[in-house]
Amino acid sequence: MSKTKLEYIWLDGYFPTQNMRSKTKVVNDFSGKLEDCPMWSFDGSSTRQAVGGDSDCLLKPVAIFPDPARKDGFLVMTEVLNADGTPHESNGRATIDDDDNDFWFGFEQEYFIMDTHTQLPLGFPVGGYPAPQGLYYCSVGGKNTHGRLLVEEHADLCIAAGLNFEGINQEVACGQWEFQLFAKGAKLAGDELWVARYLLDRLSEQYGYYIEYHPKPLGKDMDWNGSGMHANFSNTTLRTAGSKEVYEKICEAFRPVVKEHIAVYGEFNDQRLTGLHETASIHDFSYGISDRGASIRIPIATVESGWKGWLEDRRPASNGDPYKIAGRIVKTVKSADI
d(CA 288, CA 312): 10
* pLDDT score for 28: 97
Worst-scoring range by mean pLDDT, 116-120, 207-211, 223-227, 328-332? 223-227
Q: CATH 3.90.550.10: does it fit domain 104-335?
A: no
Mean pLDDT to the nearest integer, 140-161: 98
Which residues have CB under 8 Å from 140's CB, separation 6+?
A: none
Contact 281, 274 (CB under 8 A): yes
Give the chain's end-to-end CA distance (angstroms, integer).
57
> What angle (nearest 5°) sits at the alpha carbon of residue 87, between those of residues 162 and 187?
30
CB atoms closer than 10 angstroms to residue 312:
21
Percent residues over pLDDT 90 in the chain: 93
Contact 96, 330 (CB under 8 A): yes
Task: Find residue 288's DSSP bridge partners.
Answer: 297
Quick check: 146 pLDDT over 90? yes
Q: How would you classify the pairing of strands 73-81 and 104-115?
A: unpaired
Burial class (CB in 10 A: 0-12, 13-18, 19+), 142: exposed
Backbone torsions φ then ψ of 120, nearest 5 degrees: -120, 155
Using only C-alpha atoms, the chain has a radius of gyration, in whole angstroms, of: 20
Which residues have CB under 8 Å from 212's CB, separation 6+?
A: 111, 112, 113, 114, 121, 227
Q: How long a stretch of residues is the chain?
A: 338
d(CA 141, CA 131): 15
d(CA 123, CA 131): 9
d(CA 302, CA 305): 5
* pLDDT score for 65: 98
Q: What is the DSSP letter of 327?
A: H
pLDDT digits 0-9 by tens, 290-321: 999 999 999 999 999 999 999 999 999 999 99
* pLDDT score for 53: 77
Q: Assign 222 a pLDDT band (cuts: 50, 70, 90).
A: confident
Residue ranges per domain, the chain?
Answer: 3-90, 104-335
- Identity of the residue numbered 71: K
Q: Assign 263 a pLDDT band (cuts: 50, 70, 90).
A: very high
Mean pLDDT to the nearest integer, 190-217: 98
pLDDT digits 0-9 by tens, 38-74: 999 999 999 999 987 789 999 999 999 999 999 999 9
d(CA 139, CA 141): 7
d(CA 160, CA 66): 8
The rounded mean pLDDT for the chain is 96
Mean pLDDT to the nearest integer, 93-104: 97
d(CA 28, CA 37): 11
Quick check: 221 pLDDT over 90? no
For 3-90, CATH gives: 3.10.20.70
Q: Assign 88 a pLDDT band (cuts: 50, 70, 90).
A: very high
> What angle (nearest 5°) sits at the alpha carbon of residue 146, between those of residues 140 and 147?
115
Quick check: 268 pLDDT over 80? yes
* pLDDT score for 236: 98
Q: Assign 337 a pLDDT band (cuts: 50, 70, 90).
A: confident
Backbone torsions φ then ψ of 88, nearest 5 degrees: -70, 150
* pLDDT score for 138: 98
Contact 217, 268 (CB under 8 A): no
Mean pLDDT to the nearest integer, 179-202: 98
